[in-house]
A and B are shown apart, each in its own frame.
Chain A
């Protein structure tokens, strides 16, 4: 077993793609660095924290983007974001599915306005691609999680794969604590952070579709499955998602503790969920969870 969480962006692509099938677009040798970090005396990275290109997955051509959470928290800057925007535009021209390997804290603050725009543009391109029936599959299990605008982009994907380590949220616990105090969200309480934002909770409420072990081979299998699932985004998809999200509010809206949500789902001994190994967790959760049934 080899950990997805511990792997770098490039290692994840290597593990995911068929051997020797990956071809990078605007690789580090081109040194397309951020034009804005120098203003803050911050070091640049030659790929600006994202690797994009073309590969084959189980023989099928795919476009792949992998964020590097170890460079500035995988945050979206101007160049970083534009590489993904371009990749999604190419997906439509080539009618080729896309895999997004999320590992991001959201917008890169030193170039916040460009990062915010990149996120809006990426969401638009995903909707356009999916309106053309092109799958855009998101994989979440990296160190930086998937926060801020990354969480909104994830919410636009046709299928989401997540591991227990894969945190998915908008506002990060630290930011909530800074703005609202530790009574609202104690970011030092790691167990609470994992319960609220972690992969198991997202899977149980229907916020993610496939739950996998923190293992590159498991992510690869799930990516292949994700590509075969329904991708189209149309009016009916959105009407179904509306129903799904209204239902969630009605069912869980009065709760603030994930364990109460899990208990309401009928999960046995909710207090043990965080400690369950993948197989045991799936055995307990698979048929009790809120399944999104492609309504996303």
Chain B
């Protein structure tokens, strides 16, 4: 679905989302539910210091307002922007700041729902979609940590070999199904059902971000993570 179709289906009564060159900031009324804040990255933009800072500005203001309204993140990004200048300016802090703000909003009574409708990768994925309390995808979404050609370069394996291995495990290859199996994506919506209804259903359920490793175990995408983390907690308590 295109951004216009998504906004139209979510907010049939209209919205006041400011659609910038690379990011979205604004709000809208979800029918039969109430106001919510909208933030996003679109047109597969790379997330650099300025955009991360502008998105965080809005999220901090929402948090400070104490209005308790849900935050909806619409995500169609590339990776973090890869320039010397972004790194010199401390992109790690800008991305971490955005993620912290979204995570704290989730703790402080806001629902933070991310809707991944296009791409997202690496640090941009962590700072936006994965900082939400629940990540939803639309069919055709294509999250990735690193694309296969780059992965082939780094691992020094031919891409055909990587493609072959990817059939055996969801653990490394890009793609919605693989990420869903690791517990990252809670559910994939149907484009044929009005999105506002599907969003209301998600808002009525509790947040899931704290139990993604358990979901990954259940879906057989991450066989060990949840059990290892639980054992560490147990051992730490026993030693205390």
Contacts and interface: CB of A to CB of B under 8 A. Distances in A.
Given A89-B233, A109-B154, A120-B212, 16 more contacts: A78-B225, A82-B213, A82-B229, A86-B231, A112-B151, A113-B172, A127-B103, A155-B92, A156-B100, A168-B92, A175-B150, A180-B82, A235-B104, A252-B89, A253-B49, A255-B85
A119 interface: yes
B75 to A, nearest CB: 14
B63 A185 contact: no
Interface of B: 49-50, 53, 56-57, 60, 63-64, 80, 82-97, 99-101, 103-104, 107-108, 122-123, 125-127, 130-131, 145-146, 150-151, 153-155, 157, 165, 168-173, 178-179, 182-184, 209-210, 212-213, 216, 221-226, 228-233, 235-237, 239-240
Contact of A114 (B88, B225, B229, B235): B225
Contact of B108 (A26, A148, A235): A235
Given A94-B236, A116-B125, A256-B88, A35 B230 contact: no
A117 interface: yes
Contacts of A120: 126, 130-131, 184, 212
Contacts of B85: 255-256
Contact of A152 (B89, B96, B170, B216): B96
Interface residues of A, number: 88
Contact of B228 (A86, A110, A156, A170): A86
A113 B155 contact: no
Interface string A252-296: 110111100100000000000000000000000000000000001
Contact of A124 (B157, B210, B239): B210
Interface of A: 23, 25-26, 32, 35-36, 39-40, 52, 54, 61, 63, 78-79, 81-83, 85-87, 89-90, 93-94, 96, 107, 109-121, 123-124, 127-128, 131, 148-149, 151-156, 168-171, 175-176, 178-180, 184-185, 196-197, 201-202, 205, 207, 233-235, 238-239, 241-242, 245-246, 248-249, 252-253, 255-258, 261, 296
Contacts of B83: 176, 180, 184-185
Contact of B239 (A23, A39, A151): A23
